[in-house]
Amino acid sequence: MDPYKLWTLLCVLGFSRTGLISVNGRTTRVDSDNRPSCADGQPIPKTRIITADRVMALRIWFRNPVGDGKRIDAYIVPSEDAHQSEYVAAYDKRRAFISGFKGSRGTAVVTTSKAALWTDGRYFLEAESSLDCSWILQRMGNPGVVDIPEWLGKELPSGSRVGASPMLMSAMKWKKMSIQLARYNITLIEVLQDLVDLVWTTTRPEKPNSVINALPLKFAGKSWQDKVQDLRNEMVKQNVAAFIVTSLDEIAWLFNFRAKDVPFNPVAIAYAIVDRQKIRLYLNNPSDKLNFDPTDSETNKKLYEHLNTNRRGRCLRKDDCVEVLNYNAILKDIKELVYNLHRKIWIPETCSYAIYDLIPEDQRFMTVSPVAMMKSVKNEVERKGMENAHIRDAVALIDFIEKLEKEVKAGEMWTEISAAKELSKTRSKQKYNRGLSFDSISGSGPNGAIIHYRPTNVTNREITTKDIYLLDSGGQYLDGTTDVTRTFHFGEPTRYERECYTRVLMGAIDLAEQKFIAGTPGM
């Protein structure tokens, strides 16, 4: 019987075990100091998601996850996908499934008796209201909160084994965690078949399969052929035989295409390998994607035409041709590359540990991705496109705010959700708009204080002349991406509200004028 269904049945029948929730949605062992909303007498948040049955189903797979007859004592579930993306497709939201917390950053750790989630200050409030009371909330940066290796070192006995998928963790993070766990005589184990995938067998979204549209030169400013040549020039400088491209945004930029595999991000799930002779692109359902009719009015090319390949993704005596292969062949082809080239292979620091581990140390060259560096230097067409996109986006935002302010003052009903929907509709009328760049943060009154807040039917509040209204939104355009935050009050703000707004403004000005030392991270 499916472990997830088994534990769901046990929960329905009322069987009790450590980590399972009680009838009122709380466990008896939760620490109310850690989870204030789980204290006796506190109302259960409407946004809380009960996942204790999923956690118990996950623990069943601890018995022999790698086929060596040995169990693991804990499992790490990161937010990222196999490309270490911060924002992932619905299919890849493993951490959200196992924990109920939907924020973009966080790591879940499940032991045989406990479950804990680490997230940053943007999501403390959301995590508190989303996690059921079988979860410990680790508020990163707060006093007394330790990192994952130290917590596991205290929770697990010496000699324990901690599992994780090497596809879902970057090489740098894996190596660091492995070293830190070793201090407690704990081993980090590669679990090639992700355990959440084994549990998440029902209600899981389909793998993304959007049409890939060519991005015309009038938006890109440089052909993909010229970009690949620039990359090869960098490879010559570093004396490497090949470069493996793993980040989705870098692949979309390098090959001048746009897709919708990840919400609010114009990317396709893909890998690429560029060596001195060949260019290879790895896609899900490649034969379909190569031959789909374009869905964007700005291009009339099918993908195979754009990539100068044939309908099956094969290069037949063509120069500057991209060979298109099945996504699942990437690891096999990297192994073959290692065997055939006998030379240095360049990988980015953000690549997965699974890819890193396939390349012997004497053949491995790992640095910041050269494609990321190339992409960060915008050409004239890209710079002008960014400027034009912001101008059109500003027009949409001004038109919307004028209407919103007028109607709110007139007493007409507006809510956080209706405002977000109307703004999206207004943006969609602008030239080259292809949707939003992220879920609009539309927060009225106290909701505006929740970092990265997203209105739902449960939390939706009316926008009035009595409350501050925060709007953080943006649009995706073929020629640029926007992200604009504004704070409004459509009535008469109190003295305290004016003081708070002014102090935040003063802080923003101070930060803008701050001089940072060269090399400061994030600059």
Give 45-74 as a DSSP string.
PTT-B--HHHHHHHHHTTSSTTSSS---SE
Integer Cα distance of 126 and 130 in angstroms: 6
CA 166 to chain centre: 17
| Backbone CA torsion sign across 394, 395, 399, 402 | positive
Nearest CA to 60 out of 112, 22, 19 is that of 112
Q: Average of pLDDT values for 137-164? A: 96
Predicted local distance difference test score (pLDDT) of residue 319: 76
> Strand ranges (DSSP E) for 350-446?
364-367, 433-436, 441-444
The pLDDT confidence band at residue 349, using thresholds 50, 70 and 90, is very high
Highest mean pLDDT, choosing among 27-36, 125-134, 241-250: 241-250
Q: Render pLDDT for 197-236 as a digit per residue (tens, 0 to 9).
A: 999 999 999 999 999 999 999 999 999 999 999 999 999 9
Task: State yes or no: pLDDT of 4 exceeds 50.
Answer: no
pLDDT at 15: 34
pLDDT for position 12:
35
Confidence of residue 342 (pLDDT cuts 50, 70, 90): confident
pLDDT for 522 equals: 66
pLDDT of residue 33: 78
Q: What is the mean pLDDT of residues 7-25?
A: 36
pLDDT in tens, 254-291: 999 999 999 999 999 999 999 999 999 999 999 999 99
Give CA–CA dist 105/127, Å, rounded.
11
Q: What average pLDDT does this structure show over 108-129? A: 95
* pLDDT of 244 over the 80 cut: yes
DSSP strand pairing (74-77 vs 107-111): antiparallel
Residue 191 has pLDDT above 80, yes or no: yes
Q: In what order do the strands lie in the sheet with 475-477?
A: 433-436, 475-477, 480-481
Query: DSSP letter at 459?
Result: T
> Looking at residue 174, what is its pLDDT?
98
| Mean of pLDDT over the chain | 92
- pLDDT band of 9, cuts 50, 70, 90: very low
From residue 242, give the alpha-carbon distance in Å to each of 239, 277, 307, 320, 346: 9, 9, 19, 16, 6
Q: How many CA atoms lie within 13 A of 226 on its CB side?
A: 9
Please tell me the predicted confidence (pLDDT) of residue 391: 98
For 418, list phi and psi in degrees, rounded to 5: -65, -35
Measured CA to CA, the distance from residue 382 to residue 181 in angstroms comes to 45
For residue 42, pLDDT beyond 70: yes
Residue 19: pLDDT band (50, 70, 90) is: very low
* Domains present along the chain, CATH in parentheses: 36-199 (3.40.350.10), 213-376 (3.40.350.10), 380-513 (3.90.230.10)
493 pLDDT exceeds 90?
yes
pLDDT of residue 158: 97
- 217 within 8 A of 223, measured Cβ to Cβ: yes
The Cα–Cα gap between 490 and 414 comes to: 12
pLDDT above 50 for 73:
yes
pTM of the entire predicted model: 0.90
pLDDT reading at 333 higher than 50: yes
pLDDT at 230: 98
499: burial class by Cβ within 10 Å (0-12, 13-18, 19+)? exposed
Give residue 469's pLDDT band: very low, low, confident or very high (50, 70, 90).
very high
Beta strand pairing call for 468-473 and 484-489: antiparallel
Report, in angstroms and rounded to the nearest whole number, the Rg of the chain calculated over CA atoms: 25
Indicate whether 160 pLDDT > 50: yes
The amino acid that residue 16 corresponds to is S
Is the predicted pLDDT of residue 381 greater than 60, yes or no?
yes
Q: How far apart are CA 170 and CA 491, in angstroms?
A: 49
